[in-house]
């Protein structure tokens, strides 16, 4: 009986080997619809390798908003792009998205001067976002920025953001430390 099992195993092995040779390596390759054409190759780009980073904060300065200076900047942020490679040479201050306490904020931008932009937020903007001027006494809120870019039809934005934490202690003073310092 053992001899019979050995013969069956040998016949099965030879049969499998013949099938592999006939349909495997010995067969000619067949053309498929999955092949790329030259047009498809030329339509691709390296945009998939771009990872947007938020701006680098060079400096921050702040002035406590009061009823007398609401039109003046309460926060001034100087910043630059984090790199010189694509897409940063083609970006401007319009490619930033600023938020105060989670709400998209309007700011004035100037620059660049030696690669550094200046963004200013007035007390009027702060009052619109946070509410009454009395809410400004004894509060803390984040001012965030991220990079936005629309290379095609859909906008991209940096996954990370930079945050300047503005603190208005009760009655006097203001703090706005630079997160990149």
Per-residue pLDDT of the chain (181 residues; tens, 9 = 90+): 677 767 767 666 666 666 555 555 555 555 545 444 555 444 554 545 678 999 999 999 998 776 666 678 889 999 999 988 888 999 999 999 999 889 898 899 999 999 999 999 987 666 665 655 545 557 888 999 999 998 888 889 999 999 999 988 877 788 999 999 8
Tell me the residue range of the domain where 62 lies: 51-168
1 occurs within a structural domain: no
Structural domain total, the chain: 1
CA dihedral 26, 38, 155, 151 (to 10 degrees): 140
105 falls within a domain: yes
For residue 98, tell me if it sits in a domain.
Answer: yes
On whether residue 55 sits in a domain, the answer given is: yes
Handedness of CA 120, 170, 178, 129 (dihedral sign): negative
Q: Is residue 10 part of a domain?
A: no
Sign of CA pseudo-dihedral 90, 92, 94, 99? positive
CATH number at residue 160: 2.60.40
Find out whether 60 and 114 touch, Cβ atoms under 8 Å.
no
């Amino acid at each position: 009986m053992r001899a019979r099992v050995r013969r069956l195993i040998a016949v099965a092995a030879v049969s499998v080997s013949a099938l592999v040779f006939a349909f495997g390596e010995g067969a000619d390759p067949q053309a498929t619809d999955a092949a790329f054409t030259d047009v498809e190759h030329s339509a691709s780009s390296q945009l998939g390798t771009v990872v947007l980073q938020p701006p680098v904060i060079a400096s921050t300065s702040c002035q406590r908003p009061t009823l007398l200076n609401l039109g003046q900047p309460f926060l001034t942020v100087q910043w630059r792009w984090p790199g010189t490679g694509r897409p940063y040479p083609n970006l401007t201050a319009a490619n930033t998205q600023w938020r105060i306490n989670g709400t998209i904020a309007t700011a004035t931008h100037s620059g660049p001067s030696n690669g550094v932009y200046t963004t200013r937020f007035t007390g009027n903007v702060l009052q619109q976002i946070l509410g009454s001027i009395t809410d400004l006494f004894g509060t803390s809120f984040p001012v965030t920025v991220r990079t936005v870019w629309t290379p095609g039809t859909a906008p991209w934005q940096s996954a990370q953001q930079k945050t300047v934490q503005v603190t208005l202690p009760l009655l006097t003073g203001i703090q706005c430390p630079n997160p990149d310092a």
